[in-house]
A and B are shown apart, each in its own frame.
Chain A
């Protein structure tokens, strides 16, 4: 066994001699790459759902969510442009007003885009930009029948704006940030008013894809976050308001949630190995 291990290590060292001599290597930031800020957050809050395909009643309940967001400055426009991507997953459980039926829901949303930053005041950062996103979700109502569930899908181009302010409270460094995103144009899925999913499966979804715009799908997401440092960790707490809605084919849909979010934010620097010239 010892012989086998020795042989294996010898082969490894023969193929990767430089890895073994770590003293010759040092790490340096990749050219033009700024540190990436990544935040991972969990949230709990309330939801108010309406999907008239399933029921004319509004359902109220609880939402659990996960939000991962990363942002880094790029070399564009003299390092005034940042690239951001956001992944948002939610799970909801809500009841009808009479308490006789419940609705389970889930959503996965991803968007990515660019913001232009400028600082009109010291420690104060404003940004505006655009995001491209996709949203996939479902609602399941336990009252059964041939219409127990509804699927939601959309892709969109959003306008996005935000602000951030860094300050100190006594000796504690704090940063408060706000961002609002609003889809302006895109495409969404919607069954026709009385169309069953059985029919959709037979005839395809071609006629169920519609152009989405604020006139028929007014959606909005805003986050207000506070960062504070505890030793080497940046903790982030805040508020997430996420409202998705549509009014198409005489069917109304709304999923409005307000969540308290908490998590951590970290800064990462992409490094490269550089041979140490001595």
Chain B
């Protein structure tokens, strides 16, 4: 009897003593929030080693640099500014602090470069009698070139949308897919569109994720393939028009399309953003977004800072003032030369 109670008490005691505690000991103070943010990036951000090499900073130095900017009595606005500045060191559009005050961001990947896009001018090429299939708008230009505008991958693109679009455009001599200004969205939509431009399974890249808290704790690279669609597939030359605003899923789309036959990437370098973002939070309750899963291209190279086009082109402002989009015209000329 006594033995039973001893066993029972031991059973319960061992459990109560060993109940798991969060090892998250950061207070909701300016220093506590900075420490929490710094640790989050230190342990979970997938590009830290790469960014340290490319941008020439040490993350350990960043902690000291921004801790020095903290004061005992700081307003929320002041704290937000310090933490946002700290994250800006990473130059990553997928890294943000989201608060009711503002969205902390670093959009230098597009804001520091020419936009190379005039949406009104682009709309004049579509005219008013264009087709809409989900987030795709398309028409046939007078020289029998298909012109497809994809401004976002956020909305689901249906297989029916794609088959109907390609059927409608099937007699065209070539296709321009204009993704300038496309800031990303769902990877699955980018993949779905890519599948229409290959007749065989193609290696397009690799993904890795963090497996532990150390900077270089990564999983083995997992090959990513694009399988040909069972629906209508495009068999003629394609130009993908890009600018610096092509980010995230749009960057992945360019990475995929680069591996497709008959596809030429034209325009400006893409904005990058090859990490898949996760979300976490700080003791103050602010959400933090950060890149957690890393994508490489088919040769194992980084595309976090963008992808160079096969053919460079830029928007000529003088021609734009006359109603001509020099980038679309260059793409048309290129496709005509491929006939």
Q: Which residues of A contact B (CB under 8 A)?
A: 50, 52, 54-58, 96-101, 120-121, 126, 143-148, 161, 163, 180, 182, 192-196, 198-199, 202-203, 218, 220, 222, 243, 245, 247, 249-250, 252, 254, 256
**Shortest Cβ gap from A252 to chain B (Å):** 6
**Shortest Cβ gap from B96 to chain A (Å):** 10
Q: B298 to chain A: which residues have CB within 8 Å?
A: none
Known: A96-B281, A147-B292, A195-B293; 15 extra A-B contacts, CB below 8 A, are A50-B22, A56-B281, A57-B283, A101-B285, A120-B1, A145-B289, A163-B8, A193-B209, A193-B212, A194-B209, A194-B278, A199-B207, A202-B222, A245-B20, A250-B212
A56, A180, A252 interface centre (most CB from chain B within 10 Å)? A56
Q: A249 to chain B: which residues have CB within 8 Å?
A: 211-212
Q: B187 to chain A: which residues have CB within 8 Å?
A: 198
B101 CB within 8 Å of chain A: no
Q: B279 to chain A: which residues have CB within 8 Å?
A: 143-148
Contact A97 B22 (CB under 8 A): no
B196 CB within 8 Å of chain A: no
Q: B23 to chain A: which residues have CB within 8 Å?
A: 252
- Known contacts: A97-B28, A98-B284, A98-B285. The answer to whether A218 contacts B20 by CB under 8 A is yes
The 9 lowest CB-CB distance pairs between A and B, nearest first, are: A98-B285, A145-B279, A194-B210, A100-B285, A194-B209, A56-B24, A147-B278, A194-B292, A195-B209
**Shortest Cβ gap from B71 to chain A (Å):** 21
**Shortest Cβ gap from B9 to chain A (Å):** 11
Contact B285 A99 (CB under 8 A): yes
**Shortest Cβ gap from A262 to chain B (Å):** 23
Contact A199 B222 (CB under 8 A): yes
Contact A161 B211 (CB under 8 A): no
Bound-state CA distance A121–B1 (Å) is: 9
Q: B222 to chain A: which residues have CB within 8 Å?
A: 199, 202-203
Q: Which of B10-18, B115-123, B151-159, B162-170 contacts A (4 or more CB under 8 A)?
A: B10-18
**Shortest Cβ gap from A220 to chain B (Å):** 5
**Shortest Cβ gap from B22 to chain A (Å):** 5
CB-nearest residue of chain B to A126 = B4
Bound-state CA distance A194–B11 (Å) is: 34
- Known contacts: A143-B287, A252-B20. The answer to whether A55 contacts B280 by CB under 8 A is yes
Q: A243 to chain B: which residues have CB within 8 Å?
A: 15, 19
**Shortest Cβ gap from A178 to chain B (Å):** 8
**Shortest Cβ gap from A127 to chain B (Å):** 10
Chain B 208-244 per-residue mask, 1 if CB under 8 angstroms from chain A, else 0? 0111110001010010000000000000000000000
Contact A198 B276 (CB under 8 A): yes
Q: List 27 A-B contacts (CB under 8 A).
A: A52-B24, A55-B280, A56-B22, A56-B36, A97-B28, A97-B283, A98-B283, A98-B284, A100-B285, A143-B279, A144-B287, A145-B277, A182-B11, A192-B219, A193-B217, A194-B44, A194-B209, A195-B219, A195-B293, A196-B209, A196-B293, A198-B187, A199-B293, A218-B15, A247-B20, A249-B211, A250-B212
CB-nearest residue of chain A to B8 = A161
Bound-state CA distance A203–B287 (Å) is: 29
Bound-state CA distance A203–B208 (Å) is: 12
**Shortest Cβ gap from B270 to chain A (Å):** 20
Q: A121 to chain B: which residues have CB within 8 Å?
A: 1
Contact A56 B280 (CB under 8 A): yes
B40 CB within 8 Å of chain A: yes
B286 CB within 8 Å of chain A: yes
B327 CB within 8 Å of chain A: no
B130 CB within 8 Å of chain A: no
Q: A126 to chain B: which residues have CB within 8 Å?
A: 1, 4
Q: B292 to chain A: which residues have CB within 8 Å?
A: 146-147, 194, 196
B46 CB within 8 Å of chain A: yes
CB-nearest residue of chain B to A95 = B285
Q: B276 to chain A: which residues have CB within 8 Å?
A: 146, 196, 198
Bound-state CA distance A121–B5 (Å) is: 14
**Shortest Cβ gap from B314 to chain A (Å):** 33
